[in-house]
Amino acid sequence: MTEVNIKELLASYDKKNLVIATACSHSSLQLFNGAKKEGFKTLGIAIGEVKKYYDAFPLGKPDEFFIVENYKDIMKCAEELQQKNVIVIPHGSFVEYLGPKNFTTLNLPTFGNRQVLQWESDREKERVWLEGAGITMPKEVKDARNIEKPVIVKYHGAKGGKGFFIAKTFAEFSKRVKHDKPYTIQEFVMGTRYYLHYFYSPIQDTGYKLKKGSLQLLSMDRRDETTIDEVQRLGSIAELEELGIHPTFVVTGNIPIVMRESLLPQVFKMGEAVVEKSLELFGGVIGPFCLETVVTEDLEFKVFEISARIVAGTNPYVSGSPYSELIQPDLSTGRRIAQELRYALKHDSLEEILT
């Protein structure tokens, strides 16, 4: 898939002066903060101009800015960035801005396995991966006339859940749906949402060991979506629909949360199975990933999505979470990534965590 030859790329790098880089958005404050804590130099890739808001956060500000006119221009600058010994830490916005194809072929050492993208962005492959790992996902409804229980309708590629809607019957569905865009009809799973932030290391095997490497749980959050998550202050969705007001599912932030401890064995079993299936399918999901789950009244998990890199839901935990505190004080996901690079540097195994 990726044509990047990581061995070759790294050969020219000055390993004592690696620079951790990412795009100036999403979770970049946390990533730069974590990298600094582990003694790395940092570089922020920004559009058009230096982003002034970093000035307000000295411990999250990159040492250097790299300005491009638009993110796609990064492709042309790969060589220049190589000369700076840049390692890219991709986050959701980085991948989105660059575009999946560019991301896959970007000629820079990138933390994590870029192969994962095709398995994560294609709903059918995602299902093969997750269900193959024994995960329960919400069912898909192929034919809208078969809607018997509440469903959520998701337009493909819709940014931040825009246009998504919930329907309880075929009639409701028909009233709302726009047929000019491709969509998926998914069982709406009743329950409470937990976004689980894992970290998989293929090179360290202390801790919760897998067949290869080890797994951590660094934190959890609940995503906060406008307008759906405050809509109850006005009325029920059905009442609002009648007034022509349609709730939306656009992410605006994240709320910290913990889960009852008796569910943790299931949490680890899911994470373990997802990693091991990924090793089998495409060489493994490396570093941070997130299972987006709903816990039902029977205390069963349904996973409605996987994000195969750092999620913004880790941002409440810049200085540690109730889970990471049980690993090491002051450990964010951003810092954990930097630690993984440090470890790989020391053990000469960068090629196993970069692609």
Residue list 59-88, contact with a copy of itself (CB under 8 A)? 59-60
Binding piece for a copy of itself, criterion CB under 8 A, among 63-71, 73-81, 115-123, 327-335: 327-335
Question: Residue 123 or 168: which CB sits closer to a copy of itself?
Answer: 168
Cβ-based nearer residue to a copy of itself, 118 or 266: 266
CB of 302 to a copy of itself, least distance (A): 11
Nearest to 21 by CA among 76, 64, 69, 53: 64
Would you tell me how many other CB atoms lie within 10 Å of the CB of residue 325? 14
171 touches a copy of itself by CB under 8 A: no
Reading the block at residue 324, the tokens are 């990471």
C-alpha–C-alpha distance, residues 110 and 22, integer Å: 10
Instruction: Sheet with 183-187: list strands edge to edge.
Output: 165-167, 151-155, 183-187
* Minimum CB distance to a copy of itself smaller for 1 or for 255: 255
CA distance 76 to 74: 5
Among 10, 41, 51, 123, binds a copy of itself (CB under 8 A): 51
CB 318 within 8 A of CB 325: no
Q: Per CB under 8 A, which of residues 254..313 are in contact with a copy of itself?
A: 254-265, 267-268, 295-297, 299, 312
Total binding residues for a copy of itself by CB under 8 A? 91
Residue whose C-alpha is closest to residue 158's, from 183, 190, 132: 183
- 119 residue type, one letter: W
When binding is defined by CB under 8 A, the residue of 105, 136, 319, 349 that contacts a copy of itself is 319
Binding segment for a copy of itself among 67-75, 82-90, 139-147, 244-252 (CB under 8 A)? 244-252
Which lies closer to a copy of itself via its Cβ, residue 1 or residue 59? 59
Closest CA to 126 of 148, 156, 152: 156
Please tell me the distance from the alpha carbon of residue 280 to that of residue 322, in angstroms, as a whole number: 32
Binding-site member from 9, 18, 21, 29 for a copy of itself (CB under 8 A): 29
Determine which residue in the list 50, 253, 281, 345 makes contact with a copy of itself, applying CB under 8 A. Answer: 253
For residue 226, the one-letter residue type is T
Rounded distance between C-alpha atoms, residue 46 and residue 13, angstroms: 23
Question: Which is nearer to a copy of itself, 1 or 299 (by Cβ)?
Answer: 299
CB of 102 to a copy of itself, least distance (A): 20
- Which residues in 177-236 contact a copy of itself (CB under 8 A)? 188, 190-194, 206-209, 214-217, 220, 222, 224-236
Q: How far is the CB of 114 from a copy of itself (least distance, A)?
A: 23
- Is 33 a binding residue for a copy of itself by CB under 8 A? The answer is yes
Looking at the Cβ atoms of 52 and 76, the one nearer to a copy of itself is 52
Residue 38: CB minimum distance to a copy of itself, A? 16
Q: Interacting stretch for a copy of itself, rule CB under 8 A, among 5-13, 121-129, 133-141, 247-255?
A: 247-255
Distance CA 193, CA 348 (A): 39
CB-CB contact of 353 with 202 (8 Å): yes
Amino acid at 187: E
Residue with tokens 């996902």: 137
Q: How far apart are CA 98 and CA 281, in angstroms?
A: 25
Binding a copy of itself by CB under 8 A: which of 7, 101, 145, 162?
Answer: 162
Q: How far apart are CA 158 and CA 181, in angstroms?
A: 10
Asked whether 57 and 128 are in contact (CB, 8 A), the reply is no
In angstroms, what is the minimal distance from the CB of 59 to a copy of itself? 5
In the window 97-136, what residues touch a copy of itself (CB under 8 A)?
none
248 binds a copy of itself (CB under 8 A): yes
Rounded distance, CA 265 to CA 315, Å? 25
Instruction: Specify the residue, 256 or 283, whose C-beta has the smaller distance to a copy of itself.
Output: 256
